[in-house]
Amino acid sequence: MIDIELAERVKNLPPYLFAAIDKMKQEAISKGVDLIDLSIGDPDLPTPAHIVESLRQAALKPEHHRYPSYEGMLSYRESISHWYKRRFNVNLDPKAEVLSLIGSKEGIGHIPLAFVNPQDVVLVPSPGYPVYPVATLFAGGQPFFMPLIEENSYLPDLKKISADILKRTKLMFINYPNNPTSAIASKDFFKEVVAFAEKHNVIVCHDAAYSEIYFDEEKPCSFLEVDGAKEVGIEFHSLSKTYNMTGWRIGFAVGNKEVIAGLGKIKTNLDSGIFQAIQEAGITALNTQDHILLEIRNIYQKRRDILYEGLKKLGLSVNKPKASFYLWAKVPSGFDSSNFVSYLLQNAAVLGTPGVGFGAAGEGYIRFALTQSVERISEAVERIGKVL
């Protein structure tokens, strides 16, 4: 029998946050606990029926059963460019500035491999999506964590990054509407990011997965709406949250053609593209009438209001989100984020996500996802109230 040893890059990885939470969830369920899971951002609403029907019809076509193009079907990329024009008034060349992805997570995970050399620095928000630092480590780079704090509206203070770090910085991740804090960014902030990137020669990667989950008719803007943004970076988007298609694994990256080409070069060597029938369904999704998306947003808004008002009445300090389907709440005194999550799981059978799992700056907070029905969210508030 051979001695099997993990590579150093894997040995040094922290446990993936959501895998650890899934383990906690499965253990509780195996004991027969009636668990209310507000931990992971996986929409409980079904994919709209017209998208499912589009997939069914496309799957019957034999031409879709062969290898797809690496970049994605031109018709899919054209539908993305049309969507960007309609939604953000941004012009994109579908042949050079649009790339299909097997979900935005895949693109985020691969982008450092295209541009980051060993010892290069990647600027990463903290708290933030755990894939940003992990992808950096896989490429041999060094994450530099930019604290997102409430006093600065959960925006990174770019002026506080030292010259020594900036000399080695190759790439920067930002994410608005933000996971986990639900913060949004203005065009003024994006203008600051463009100027910063130009000055320090940094590639900007904006993760916009939650741009279409917004409330009170306040539409988030795109990074690419700002002059000069396309010269310094790209934007990732996913069909997962907007159209309740998390399991379908389809998304895209758009923006700077050189950055898109670099990411595409990694992908041609590591994957074989998206099943074309799913791309056909993606085209249908991107042409979905807004009244269907409005219904989805209204459901999340009702859930947001119930959870926000309920937690506020219980005395928790919580931000009322303008976008995304998360609430970011301070844990009560006497707890840290991890033991508060454990306390709620064991005593209220309600599962949230510890803020520290998103980075050190997330300590002291808990994230709740709006991915349960109004009735279950109301019950979760009642359960939490009984144990606080």
Instruction: For residues 11 and 6, give the distance between their C-alpha atoms in angstroms, rounded to a whole number.
Output: 6
pLDDT at 307: 98
Are residues 211 and 77 part of one domain? yes
Q: Is the pLDDT of residue 16 over 80?
A: no
Beta-carbon-side half-sphere exposure of residue 268 (alpha carbons within 13 Å): 10
Q: Taking a C-beta distance cutoff of 8 angstroms, is the pair 244, 43 a contact?
A: yes
Q: Is the pLDDT of residue 9 over 90?
A: no
Are residues 68 and 38 part of one domain? no
Strands 350-351 and 36-37: parallel
Question: Residues 206-225: what's their mean pLDDT?
Answer: 97
What predicted TM-score, i.e. pTM, was given to this entire model? 0.96
Q: Tell me: the pLDDT tens digits for 288-340?
A: 999 999 999 999 999 999 999 999 999 999 989 999 999 999 999 999 999 99
Beta-carbon-side half-sphere exposure of residue 2 (alpha carbons within 13 Å): 3
Phi-psi region for residue 142, left (φ > 0), alpha (ψ -120 to 50) or beta?
Answer: beta
Q: What is the CATH number of the domain that holds 26?
A: 3.90.1150.10
Domain span including residue 28? 8-46+291-387
Q: Tell me: the pLDDT tens digits for 126-153?
A: 999 999 999 999 999 999 999 999 999 9
pLDDT grade, residue 264 (50/70/90)? very high
Answer yes or no: is 114 within a domain.
Answer: yes
Answer yes or no: is 370 within a domain.
Answer: yes
Are residues 115 and 85 part of one domain? yes
Instruction: For residues 99 and 24, give the distance between their C-alpha atoms in angstroms, rounded to a whole number.
Output: 36
Number of domains in the chain: 2
Q: What is the CATH number of the domain that holds 209?
A: 3.40.640.10
Are residues 231 and 370 part of one domain? no
Are residues 210 and 125 part of one domain? yes
Q: What is the DSSP string of 147-160?
A: E--GGGTT---GGG
Last residue of a domain, one of 253, 286, 319: 286
Are residues 350 and 249 part of one domain? no
- Name the residue type at position 229: A
Are residues 184 and 42 part of one domain? no
Answer yes or no: is 252 within a domain.
Answer: yes
Q: Tell me: the pLDDT tens digits for 85-116?
A: 999 999 999 999 999 999 999 999 999 999 99
Answer yes or no: is 367 within a domain.
Answer: yes
pLDDT at 25: 83
Answer yes or no: is 2 within a domain.
Answer: no
Are residues 190 and 130 part of one domain? yes
Instruction: For residues 59 and 62, give the distance between their C-alpha atoms in angstroms, rounded to a whole number.
Output: 8
Answer yes or no: is 1 within a domain.
Answer: no
Angle at alpha carbon of residue 35, lines to 34 and 41, rounded to 5°: 150
Are residues 189 and 214 part of one domain? yes
Are residues 72 and 34 part of one domain? no
Q: What is the DSSP string of 66-128?
A: SPPPSS--HHHHHHHHHHHHHHH-----TTTSEEEESSHHHHHHHHHHHHPPTT-EEEEEES-
